[in-house]
Amino acid sequence: MTFPLRIALVAGEASGDILGAGLMQALKLRYPQVEFIGIGGPRMEAEGLQSYFPMERLSVMGLVEVLGRLPELLSRRKRLIRTLIAEKPDVFIGIDAPDFNLTLELKLRQAGIKTVHYVSPSVWAWRQKRVLKIRQACDLMLTLFPFEARFYLDHQVPVRFVGHPLANIIPLQADRQAARETLGLESEAMVVALLPGSRGGEVARLGALFLDAAERLRALRPGVRFVLPCASRERRVQLEDLLSGRDLPLLLLDGQSHEALAACDAVLIASGTATLEALLYKRPMVVAYKVAPLTYRILKRLVTSPYISLPNLLAERLLVPELIQDAATPDALAQTLAPLLDDGAVQTEGFGVIHRALRHDASEQAADAVLKLAGRV
């Protein structure tokens, strides 16, 4: 007789929702009697999770920006700890969102619930002492990248490198023409994808900047067209407001970020998971990021890594240009992007090696690790 398995998951943003949904699918295949509780987005809900509250309430960027939402976040976490201790899941899985999830994991582990953290925080880049809390909070760390697993092994944290699910989902060679047909783009057009982020705060800081850069790029490369995938209905409304009064040949998409990346010749992109997706699609990119001035000053003192974007961290060298804070001006972004439309292969030739290294059937590996921890293998 097989006993029902109850898994609690908490994801805080769109990238976590994708990872959570893949893990839930893999768990259901291995253990059909599984039940899911917690917090997730539309993809996780489609796999059978009834979210306690909208995932969007956890999506906050920046050290300073979070302060305005802190009372709500702390209140929600306190209630969630009580709920989950009462529900007694066999395993709790915190997906990314470390500032929210690590304390949650610590409290649940102290209450006798096994805990997994899926997606390593950037402890190797800054706040390295946080590894001590991770060791206390987690029975197991699941990392997407091999350099992260090495860090945890050095710090005696139980870890498993699972690879990245997107490396299996995205083909080694994407079909640009098929993607263009899907989106109604001319096969010979020069196309740039704009990805200013999935969170409201990111779009507020980067949306107008990216559109200004697009206008400058048109002057340098007449005939260029743009595609901009909107992560949600709220982001679409936000971007439509930013586009008002501009004359740009730009196609707004609902979701479809993968189609946009497959279809384009180059990408202007916010630092984050999307940079990995651009790498997996072998598209040349310029990475930009802006946060509140105080957040930036604090981070500059704390961050020890020379890079912020995943392609550079994975390559352990400067593979893609990073224009951060004051360096991210419309002119600078356009000037850096323009040459990539002529010859992007200079940047992308190392992308295939990284893609193959991350192809590990991540969701299946993660499901296997979770079931072993729960004693169901």
Residues in contact with 41: Cβ distance below 8 Å, sequence separation at least 6, in sequence order: 11, 13, 14, 16, 17, 20, 51, 55, 56
Q: Report yes or no: 34 and 7 within 8 Å, Cβ to Cβ.
A: yes
Q: Average pLDDT, whole number, for the chain?
A: 91
d(CA 86, CA 78): 13
pLDDT in tens, 238-271: 999 999 999 999 999 999 999 999 999 999 999 9
Q: Is the pLDDT of residue 109 over 60?
A: yes
Residue that has been written with the tokens 């501009």 in this structure = 246
The proportion of the chain whose per-residue pLDDT surpasses 90, expressed as a percent, equals 71
d(CA 228, CA 256): 9
pLDDT in tens, 303-320: 767 888 999 989 889 999
Average pLDDT over every residue of 289-311: 79
Do the bridges between strand 50-51 and strand 140-143 make them parallel or antiparallel, or are there none, so unpaired? unpaired
3-state SS record for 213-272:
HHHHHHHHCCCEEEEEEECCHHHHHHHHHHHCCCCCCEEEEECCHHHHHHHCCEEEEECC
3-state secondary structure of 92: strand
- pLDDT at residue number 302: 67
- pLDDT at residue number 373: 97
Domains defined for the chain, CATH in brackets: 5-163+360-373 (3.40.50.2000), 176-357 (3.40.50.2000)
> Pick the residue with more confidence: 89 or 54?
89
Q: Is the pLDDT of residue 123 over 80?
A: no
User: Please, which pLDDT band fits residue 147 given cuts at 50, 70 and 90?
Assistant: confident
- pLDDT at residue number 68: 62
- pLDDT at residue number 28: 97
- pLDDT at residue number 184: 96
Tokens of 262: 């497959």
CA distances from 94 to 104, 327, 370 (A): 8, 34, 12
Average pLDDT over every residue of 323-346: 95
CA distances from 376 to 8, 100, 204 (A): 16, 28, 45
Q: Report yes or no: 285 and 275 within 8 Å, Cβ to Cβ.
A: yes
- pLDDT at residue number 53: 84
Q: What are phi and psi of 365, to 5 degrees?
A: -60, -45
- The predicted model scores a pTM of 0.80
Q: What is the DSSP letter of 3?
A: P
Average pLDDT over every residue of 188-217: 95
> Pick the residue with more confidence: 307 or 160?
160
Q: Report yes or no: 7 and 370 within 8 Å, Cβ to Cβ.
A: yes
- pLDDT at residue number 97: 86
- pLDDT at residue number 127: 57
pLDDT in tens, 225-242: 999 999 889 999 999 999
pLDDT in tens, 162-192: 999 899 999 999 999 999 999 999 999 999 9
pLDDT in tens, 73-107: 888 889 999 999 999 999 999 998 888 899 999 99
User: Please, which pLDDT band fits residue 1 given cuts at 50, 70 and 90?
Assistant: very low
Q: Is the pLDDT of residue 62 over 70?
A: no
Q: Is the pLDDT of residue 125 over 70?
A: no
Least confident piece of the model among 44-58, 186-200, 331-345 = 44-58
> Pick the residue with more confidence: 361 or 305?
361
CA distances from 292 to 16, 149, 151, 302, 306 (A): 24, 31, 29, 15, 20
